[in-house]
Amino acid sequence: MKTEHDQTRKWESEISGATGAWHADHVGRIADKRASLDGYKAFIAHFAGTLPPSPVTDKAWPSLYDICSALGKAVDYRTVHMAMCSQVHHDAEDILNAFMIGSSSNYEARAQNLERETGNFSIFLLLCSLRYYLECLGQLGTRYRMPTVLTQASKSFDAIEEVAATVTADGFVNSSFDAFLPRQT
């Protein structure tokens, strides 16, 4: 909450010299954001009041790596999570790939391969996300004794694993699954 309030104050500072409709629009949005934050704070305070005191108060919140490692997903963190982060934060890999391929002697074939690799990688990340979701759903089914949820999560997980195995072995683009991809016309 402190970070959100700090960011809102910085937002307000950024527009302080502006005038007119643009300024008024931002002032209204800042007011809406503050009202939302106040509502969140009231909800959290109410909800927190219903919980028993936490026995752990002196430990720092674990890092994402620590959480993944405790779940037996350290390799996933080092591979899938890091790959997703580099894509989201627009690292230079895509630019370098385009530059290297564009300056190669076999440009057309390499460009098609890069397009196929990019499509396969996107599908792979989506499949990883679905696997994690289904694992979580299965754990919730186990925890709250909902056998039908656990059964369906397990069946869906197995189906996703089958697709993932095919994508890993053969790729998605130009494979039997390729018909699922939307095409631009």
* Tens-digit pLDDT string for the chain (185 aa): 888 889 999 999 999 999 999 899 999 989 999 998 898 888 888 877 777 776 666 678 888 899 889 988 888 888 888 877 777 666 677 777 788 888 888 888 888 888 888 777 888 888 888 999 999 999 999 989 999 999 999 999 999 988 888 777 776 656 655 555 555 55
Report the C-alpha gap between 131 and 118 in whole angstroms.
20
Contact 64, 78 (CB under 8 A): no
Domain ranges of the chain: 2-49, 92-180
Q: According to the model, what pLDDT value does residue 112 have?
A: 86
Distances (CA, A) of 136 to 23, 44, 131, 132: 44, 24, 9, 6
Q: According to the model, what pLDDT value does residue 151 have?
A: 93
Rg (CA), the chain: 24
Q: What is the 3-state secondary structure (H, E, C) of 123-158?
A: HHHHHHHHHHHHHHHHHHHHHCCCHHHHHHHHHHHH
Q: According to the model, what pLDDT value does residue 13 have?
A: 92
CA proximity to 117, closest of 90, 94, 99: 94
Q: According to the model, what pLDDT value does residue 9 have?
A: 92
Report the C-alpha gap between 22 and 16 in whole angstroms.
11
Q: According to the model, what pLDDT value does residue 57 have?
A: 63
Q: What is the 3-state secondary structure (H, E, C) of 54-77?
A: CCCCCCCCCCHHHHHHHCCCHHHH
Residue 133: CB atoms within 10 A of its CB come to 14
CA 161 to chain centre: 19
